[in-house]
Structure 1
């Protein structure tokens, strides 16, 4: 059998998905002709399909060293580089492929994927659009474009994109899963769950869908079902950091603290965000508590919580802090209207209707973009900013008459920097009203819930240290947690004239 005949047979096996047979024949070709471009290149493609990115890089790299003019080889090298987590290098390979063949739809789509993974979703959209201009019913480009829209928070457009991908390929598990994520983000929980389940029917080992399902069930309070989903994800993809972190979070909520600690440590070893894991370990007493919750943890927590935030907090947890705090604030304002008011950690805007009557101008600041989108829809704020509250306050020196923080300081332990920034941002006679969870002794403590509690003595000491007069410090019930009242304090501080 000639070398060409062997190569054609190998390609035929490869096209049928018989990777072992194809690989064996490619190896025979390379025994006869070690510098055979096609056998090297396609052996590398087989290696990538079998999950061996290092071997794929070696083989395709050798092929390109022999002939660097083949766009397809640069495109496949880019895919192997992405598998290896080298997204910048992958982008460069796709650019080389497109320099050789500008009308290469696959390279344009893959270029979009690399840009998206590099945090450049707007540029990714342009690359997908170019791919779709060449091939309008290209399922992967349609689906990946929808994923970029999803990352930009444009969920309605993303859903249209996933629908278009499913028209081009009806049994497309990735598009169904993507649609489920956007359905959940727009508050359509039941449809989202159906989507995750449908994706798993098509692709039972789809770890991302198991994780999406697990996260949804965890937020819904179906803890045992969430645990089961995360275990399925780990069975499908051992070492999957996202699934391991979800498993640890569920064990923590279930009160299985020793198992949660072990799971968090394993999640950190697998590459989960170290700051988040260390924080949650500290909440379980397995490490030193930081001064505040990591901003990335808070943003991710509330981005995921946004679709059901108000229904869960008000309906299920009997959350009444905004009403209680606004009532106390009203009793201590010297001017009942015409104030410049800042809603710190405004979330979806639960405080906005209560603060609007006090305000000439009402602004909000929050770390969660998903929360801010819902707050904007109320059309009650004159301005909204996605930022950490302490730097935001520092940038607004002497600007505010009223600061309000309802259920926000539970994510800040050491309040000294916040009090200093608040005083700097307040005008003379301005008011700062906030809530905390009650700590009976000490200064502050991080609880297993992942929230901080503060003592009244600590608040008094901080107020005095920062030149803020304590006008009110009243006990209250903030909400319920697992059917138990959560005790809190409502405080009103005033900045006098210097």
Structure 2
């Protein structure tokens, strides 16, 4: 009787696995497991192969069974963490990486993967420390450098993030994600030509890379290269970029019909990426004055000394309006689509409560709950304002005030238009017509300068509307 050569079968399986021949490797691992169902190596490596074959549930089972056989192998805990991350279970993944590190403290990959889990759990400072530990063990570790770049970017340390992306691509010139990340930062820094070159490198390293193609399209739009931008957006859609976002940007360029509002996913992603530097960029670079102008306009229409108001800050972002509204409020709450912005708004403790939601949907159940609704530069992401006005009217108590800003569109134009900036502008006549339709009295509708863009003033309107009709 021939004795099965389990070590020989495993060697063959590993050889196929290393060549990327997953089906052959899997068949041999399965043969080993028929002979020895508790063979650690066959369980563990077949789980790794299952993950590589995009079968995370099977991988979870197999690696879990391997750990049950021998819980003392750090590599198995690290690979289990990777599978848990594939399944979106970041907290469980973090625990697996920490078990791996308890067994093997000098395990650079586990430190790097731990950083990935912490970053996805919105703990960028802790993630940065974990990447640093990986790099202390293996200084030329491009994946850890790339993770550190993302953590630095999340912390708003743009120069350091850019340097980390550049160190990554020096070590690994084919790292498409790092070229793409570098392009995104250069775009934000308005270094457009350098951003185009970076996105070119990303697309050369990974043809059909949707995120890089979308970044390229955004950069070409910023350069005013309209026809090239339109072509680039269409390619991004072909590569798998979010169709709603692409169609919106094509509409801003006049190459597709304009929707009635910006896609919520586009707005949330736009502001999530700017959260950690948003206030400084607005105030220092764009000379942003809208919160102060809006609250001054509100104060002109309040009874003297009234500080017992229930106020909702619509699209509160990082909370720039909060400190200005707080002295007027008995209760101050905020609502915004961007979770990252809300995390910034939460830190000073100005708001009584904050909500992550789309503003119209949030307002609809709120019948006569508020004395003031304030929206600073929020309605620039909504074209058709009829639904917003109706929800605002119902959410306000009789006599309540709806104060907001919009970008100004010349009279004689259609009521609203989507601009190449990706923001909407509205005419004064449109605002007045909606006010009448929804039983608001126009207490103030005044032109103003909202901010600067590329050195040019952006003209807007400040509106103070008063709810006259009793709510149902």
TM-score of the superposition, structure 2-length normalised? 0.91
Q: Which of 343, 346, 352 pairs up with 1:382?
A: 352
The DSSP-based 3-state class of the residue aligned with 1:480 is strand
Q: What are the Cα deviations for residues 99-131 of structure 1, in whole angstroms up to 9, with x where unaligned?
A: 554444333222322322333222221222222
Residue in 2 that maps onto 1:237: 206
Residue in 2 that maps onto 1:255: 224
| In the alignment, structure 1 residue 352 sits paired with structure 2 residue 317 | no
Q: 1:278 to 1:83 in 2, by over 3 A?
A: farther
Check conservation: 2:371, 2:396, Cα contact below 8 A: yes
1:215 CA displacement: 1.0
Residue in 2 that maps onto 1:439: 409
**Residues 30-45 of structure 1: pairs in structure 2 closer than 5 A:** 37-38=9-10, 41-45=13-17
Q: Which of 285, 298, 302 pairs up with 2:254?
A: 285
TM-score of the superposition, structure 1-length normalised? 0.86
1:378 CA displacement: 2.5
The DSSP-based 3-state class of the residue aligned with 2:466 is strand
| In the alignment, structure 1 residue 221 sits paired with structure 2 residue 190 | yes
Q: What are the Cα deviations for residues 332-382 of structure 1, in whole angstroms up to 9, with x where unaligned?
A: 123631111111111111112221121112222212222222222223222
| In the alignment, structure 1 residue 63 sits paired with structure 2 residue 28 | yes
Q: Which of 75, 80, 83 pairs up with 1:114?
A: 83
Residue in 2 that maps onto 1:314: 283
Residue in 2 that maps onto 1:199: 168
Q: 1:255 to 1:376 in 2, by over 3 A?
A: same
The DSSP-based 3-state class of the residue aligned with 1:475 is strand
| In the alignment, structure 1 residue 424 sits paired with structure 2 residue 394 | yes
Distance 1:86 1:229 in 2: 33
Q: What are the Cα deviations for residues 406-456 of structure 1, in whole angstroms up to 9, with x where unaligned?
A: 111111122222222222221221111111112231122221111112222
Structure 1 residue runs of 5 or longer lacking an equivalent are 9-35, 49-54
Residue in 1 that maps onto 2:336: 366
| In the alignment, structure 1 residue 415 sits paired with structure 2 residue 385 | yes
1:488 CA displacement: 1.2
Q: Which of 437, 457, 463 pairs up with 1:465?
A: 437
Residue in 2 that maps onto 1:494: 466
Check conservation: 1:60, 1:73, Cα contact below 8 A: no
Residue in 2 that maps onto 1:16: none
Residue in 1 that maps onto 2:102: 133
| In the alignment, structure 1 residue 449 sits paired with structure 2 residue 421 | yes
Check conservation: 1:142, 1:164, Cα contact below 8 A: yes
**Residues 81-160 of structure 1: pairs in structure 2 closer than 5 A:** 81-83=50-52, 85-160=54-129
Distance 1:110 1:349 in 2: 41
| In the alignment, structure 1 residue 474 sits paired with structure 2 residue 446 | yes
Structure 2 residue runs of 5 or longer lacking an equivalent are none
| In the alignment, structure 1 residue 47 sits paired with structure 2 residue 19 | yes
Distance 1:208 1:484 in 2: 34
> Between Structure 1 and Structure 2, how many residues are aligned?
460
